[in-house]
Chain A
Amino acid sequence: MLGKNKKWKDPMFTSRLDESQPRASTFMRWMIFAVMVVTSLLLAYGSWQGLKYIQNYQQLPLLIRLISVLCLGVGGFSLSFFLLVRAVEQLPENIQNRITPVLFIGPTIALLFWILVIPLFRTIWMSFLDAKGVDWVGLKNYIFVFTDSSMLNSFRNNLLWLLLGSGGCILLGLLIAFLTDHTNSRFSSIIQSLIFMPMAISMVGASIIWRFVYAFVPAGYEQIGLLNAILVQWGGQPQAFLMDRGVNNILLIIVFVWMQTGLPLVIFSAAIKTIPEEIIEASRMDGANEWQIVTQISIPYLRNTILAVATIVIVLTLKVFDVVYVMTGGNYGTETIANQFYFEMFRKFNYGHGSAIVVLLVVLILPVVAYNLRRYQETLELK
């Protein structure tokens, strides 16, 4: 700190001479700076302590707690940051120029390192330690990951999720996008917003909606689940679908497809409108039918969009957790990798196993990252 100050002293005085700033003002500014920094730090500390206190103070009425938590949280920390930035503005310009970038991007970078970058490496490290995260066990956790029967089952399930879940979203999205392209815009925007709507609600809410669809009442009573009611109507026996290892995974995937098809749909349907009319007209002149136009012209034209959407949906599928957690709890052979992670980490408190599963998840998502990064790289090199 001292060394830096010394280095900056020279230009500081020259600039003072250049701009004929009085000496006292510089001193005063440093004083103001110090006072503002101290105030800012006190404010941040006070908000922090206040929040911790109010959090545990249950007697306060709900609304007052709500307002005070928001004031202290949002107001306190923002004001503290505001003061800090304004404080730095009191300093001579050349010092300001060095500190301001740190203030601007510092909080974001620091938080990213604390919450994401460093934990990534800590998790990798923990995947080589035992259940308590103390002793080195080498590759034992990874051996567990690749030999444990429910882990193997979760791999199989995730593959099914990738094929039917990601595939289903993209194909359905494409299909509906092509269908809506030929209808009037008012109709198609209603259809699109209906199909997009589930993206706004939580997976927990969606899971309850669908558990109700799959609900089971023993034979002889009136079925209240839609699926069983249809089954019984057609002369079948009611099934406890979610416990049926033959179909339960597919039923969970349906919930996911129901939720996520909206995104591919809107992206594709916007992309379809960018296909030049002339190409389609020309091929129609050449006698191509609708199917040929879609498969041989439109889809190749949309290739990049489809790939980009696929990366998003694949990442979502690989991380799927809530749907399984709420609908079956990962029982009856429905476990997925992300559920196994939660189970090992927070039910069995086996940090070694849990970390190894997460590392595997990262490795699975890595190809997607690489694909996206290559695109970033291409655009960054243009600089």
Chain B
Amino acid sequence: MMKNQDGSSMETAVSSVFLSQASGIFRKTRKNLPRIGNYCLLTFIAIVWAIPTLGLLVSSFRAADAVSESGWWTILQNPNGARLTLDNYLIVTGNGNSPLVQGQVAFDEKGIDVLQPFFNSIMVVIPATIFPILLAAIAAYGFSWMNFPGRKYLFFLVLAIQVVPLQVALIPVLRDFYHIGINNTFLAVWIAHTGFALPVATYLMFNYISGIPKEFIEAAKIDGASHFSIFLNIVVPMSVPAFASFAILQFLWVWNDLLVALVFLGFNKSAIVLTQALVSLSGTYGNRWHLLTAGAFISMIIPLVIFFSLQRYFIRGLVSGGIKG
């Protein structure tokens, strides 16, 4: 029991406040008289918030000349002028020559392809999400259920390094990667993302794993189970919620990251991820909004699906570990 109390006391003040509150997010609001003014103001704010995204979505489905000749909001007054089409999506995914394309495709637009970067993003994001979870979970087990010299100091180091901006590491790490010959490869981005995520991941996992009742661990120990067996058979199944909420966070961080990809993948054309592809699209075709909007929307599909299906876990994860270096 002592161990358990120690564990929970090590949660930071910040996160214990957050965690206790996060559970209340979806609780019923207190019974107050509904106020019309609040509803109006909030509806207005929500509309303002949604309009930019709506504009992107609508424009991505309009023909090229329609996008550049009239504002997207005109489809409300003049639905016939909307000229909805899937052309933009076909062009940005490298299918500019496909018979499905209805309109004219400019010659220089045929080389665009965000499909390869899309797959590259997947190749980057899956390992970069799994590695930190595996490493952090087993380290968190070590920190909470093993005794070894320097345990407290090492854990303090993990906490302290959490807030160091990752910019600090870029050049030295880039040099190391160059020396071992993995620059501009996925390995480099995986290692970098894993390293940058580990402080937060270890901390979040520790909060969870140190809170597992001591009886479970003790009982297994008496039965002669090794630490690793206890970890695999007891701790991992019990920690799935913590894994899930961190996985969502890390997935989105990596998927949305630009800086780490720019530095460690460079503009190695075969390896660039989706955010880089978008940046170069936006640089080369800065005013062709039909392409930019379609490209941007493709990059948003997966985050949006995750957000709307796993919203609670996403918010809970962000709220309990909002800082990342």
Number of residues on chain A facing chain B (CB within 8 A): 125
A274 and B26 contact, CB distance less than 8 A: no
A104 & B256 in contact (Cβ 8 Å cutoff): no
Q: A195-B49, A212-B52, A383-B152 are in contact. Are A362 and B30 (CB under 8 A)?
A: no
Say if the beta carbon of B313 comes within 8 Å of chain A.
Answer: no
**Interface contact A274-B24, CB-CB below 8 Å:** yes
Residues A55 and B186 in contact, CB atoms below 8 Å apart? yes
Cross-interface CB contact of B70 among A181, A195, A222, A362, cutoff 8 Å: A222
What chain B residues lie within 8 Å of A52 (beta carbons)? 181-182, 185, 187
Number of B interface residues in the complex (CB < 8 A): 138
16 pairs, CB–CB < 8 Å, chain A vs chain B: A66-B123, A102-B148, A104-B231, A108-B158, A115-B198, A116-B199, A196-B307, A202-B255, A203-B258, A209-B56, A258-B49, A266-B315, A365-B163, A379-B9, A380-B10, A382-B6
Q: Looking at the complex, which of B83-91, B96-104, B170-178, B237-245 is the stretch in contact with chain A?
A: B170-178
CB neighbors of A among B167-209 (8 A): 167-173, 176, 181-182, 185-187, 190-192, 194-196, 198-199, 202
- Residues of chain A within 8 A (CB-CB) of B220 are none
Per CB-CB distance, the 8 closest pairs between chain A and chain B, nearest first, are A115-B195, A202-B256, A104-B142, A270-B21, A200-B307, A108-B139, A119-B172, A119-B169
Q: Does A252 contact B (CB under 8 A)?
A: no
Residues of A within 8 A of B (CB): 48, 51-52, 55, 58, 62, 65-66, 69-70, 73-74, 77-78, 81, 85-86, 89, 96, 100-102, 104-105, 107-109, 111-112, 114-120, 122-123, 126, 176, 179-185, 187-205, 207-213, 215, 222-226, 229, 258, 263, 266-267, 269-271, 273-274, 277, 304-305, 308, 311-312, 315, 318-319, 321-322, 325-326, 338, 341-342, 345-346, 351, 354-355, 358, 361-362, 365, 368-369, 372-373, 375-376, 378-380, 382-383
Query: Which listed residue (B53, B191, B231) contacts A209, Cβ 8 A?
Result: B53
Within the complex, what minimum Cβ distance (angstroms) separates A59 from chain B?
11
Does B1 touch A at the CB level, under 8 Å?
Answer: no
B11: nearest chain-A partner, CB-CB: A379
User: Contacting A369 at CB < 8 Å: which of B41, B157, B163, B171?
Assistant: B163
Residues of B within 8 A of A182 (CB): 29, 32-35, 38
B38 near A179: Cβ-Cβ < 8 Å: yes
Closest CB-CB distance, A368 to chain B, in whole Å? 6
Instruction: Taking A115-B196, A185-B27, A319-B165 as given, write out 20 further A-B residue pairs in contact, using a Cβ cutoff of 8 Å, ordered by the A residue number.
Output: A111-B191, A116-B169, A176-B45, A180-B42, A183-B42, A188-B29, A195-B46, A195-B49, A202-B256, A205-B296, A205-B299, A211-B282, A212-B292, A215-B289, A224-B69, A258-B52, A273-B24, A315-B163, A375-B13, A382-B10
Residue of A116, A188, A213, A379 with most partner-chain B CB within 10 A: A116
Closest A residue by C-beta to B322: A312
Tell me whether B75 is interfacial, beta carbon within 8 Å.
Answer: no
The reply on B236 being an interface residue by CB < 8 A is: no
Closest B-chain residue to A197, C-beta based? Answer: B307
- List residues of B (276-325) whose CB comes within 8 Å of A's CBs: 278-279, 282, 287, 289, 292-293, 295-296, 299-300, 303-304, 306-308, 311, 314-315, 318-319, 322-323, 325
Would you give the shortest CB distance from B285 to chain A, in whole angstroms? 11
Residues of B within 8 A of A198 (CB): 49, 53
Docked-complex contact B186 and A69, CB < 8 angstroms: yes
Classify the interface of chain B: helix, strand, loop or mixed: helix
| CA–CA, A273 and B34, complex, Å | 16
Q: From DSSP, what is the main secondary structure of chain A's interface residues?
A: helix
How distant is the Cα of A179 from the Cα of B61 in the complex, in angstroms? 35
Query: Could you list which residues of chain B lie within 8 angstroms of chain A, going by C-beta atoms?
Result: 6, 9-14, 17-18, 20-22, 24-30, 32-35, 38-39, 41-43, 45-46, 49-53, 55-56, 59, 67-73, 116, 119, 122-123, 126-127, 130-131, 134-136, 138-139, 141-143, 146-148, 152, 154, 156-173, 176, 181-182, 185-187, 190-192, 194-196, 198-199, 202, 226-228, 231, 252, 255-259, 262-263, 270-271, 275, 278-279, 282, 287, 289, 292-293, 295-296, 299-300, 303-304, 306-308, 311, 314-315, 318-319, 322-323, 325
Say whether, besides A66-B122, A69-B123, A361 and B167 are in contact (CB < 8 Å). Answer: yes
In the bound complex, CA of A288 to CA of B133 (Å): 50
- Of the listed residues B51, B166, B169, the one surrounded by the most CB atoms of chain A closer than 10 A to its CB is B169
